[in-house]
Chain A
Amino acid sequence: DAKTTQPPSMDCAEGRAANLPCNHSTISGNEYVYWYRQIHSQGPQYIIHGLKNNETNEMASLIITEDRKSSTLILPHATLRDTAVYYCIVSHLLNTGFQKLVFGTGTRLLVSP
């Protein structure tokens, strides 16, 4: 399974953009990059995913480098409610056609006033 490397923690001021990096240098051609977050001990929440093109939705933007070895999750205007652990995951495609998500240790983002 492709592994991901994330900084253990980051700080961000409220209202500013939060840029969370992720390294996934061993990613394969058919593996997607997913981002989830977990607030306190709640169930993880899906944020966004992509294969090779940049993606944007109402929550965030995902920038994937051309060689796909790294990506950045961007929260354009961080709020206090964005304080959470953010997981960057490379999906592992099984021969059944289904994917397996292997969560790492994530980045603990603290948004301060």
Chain B
Amino acid sequence: DSGVTQTPKHLITATGQRVTLRCSPRSGDLSVYWYQQSLDQGLQFLIQYYNGEERAKGNILERFSAQQFPDLHSELNLSSLELGDSALYFCASSGKGGGLAAYNEQFFGPGTRLTVL
């Protein structure tokens, strides 16, 4: 158990819909990362937040957005869903500060499996 929790575990929805995935980081971790893992693309970094602010952006679509709240939990919003958005979405957390602490390892949650029909 990494200490990172994600809800829901599974999500089935239809094309065109909008969903919200939730992540609670390990106690004390200030950074939250979102990743998408699909069969054909592997594990792709989407976005990172540190203490409520966006710090790094990867291959995140404009239809996707995220935020980190004052209690440090994070949500990933996926809208206008397409069949190709079906994937495992992982959240990870790390670190208790910036600078050299940015090299801390990331702890991954169990993931949310999204199926778009």
Contact = CB atoms under 8 A, between A and B. Distances in A.
A41 B103 contact: no
B31 interface: yes
A16 interface: no
Interface residues of A, number: 24
Contact of A98 (B35, B48, B110): B48
Nearest to B99: A97
Nearest to B53: A96
Main secondary structure of the interface of B (DSSP, over half): strand
Contact of B31 (A34, A38, A91, A98): A98
A43 B92 contact: yes
A73 to B, nearest CB: 14
Contact of A96 (B37, B56, B107, B113): B56
Given A41-B88, A45-B108, A94-B56, A99 B42 contact: no
A41 B48 contact: no
A100 interface: yes
Contact of B45 (A32, A41, A87, A101): A101
Interface in A48-93: 49, 87, 91, 93
18 contacts: A32-B103, A34-B105, A41-B113, A43-B2, A44-B90, A46-B105, A49-B105, A87-B43, A96-B55, A97-B98, A97-B102, A98-B98, A99-B103, A100-B48, A101-B45, A103-B44, A104-B42, A105-B42
Contact of A46 (B44, B55, B106, B111): B106
B111 A41 contact: yes
A52 B90 CA distance: 29
Interface string A29-42: 00010100010011
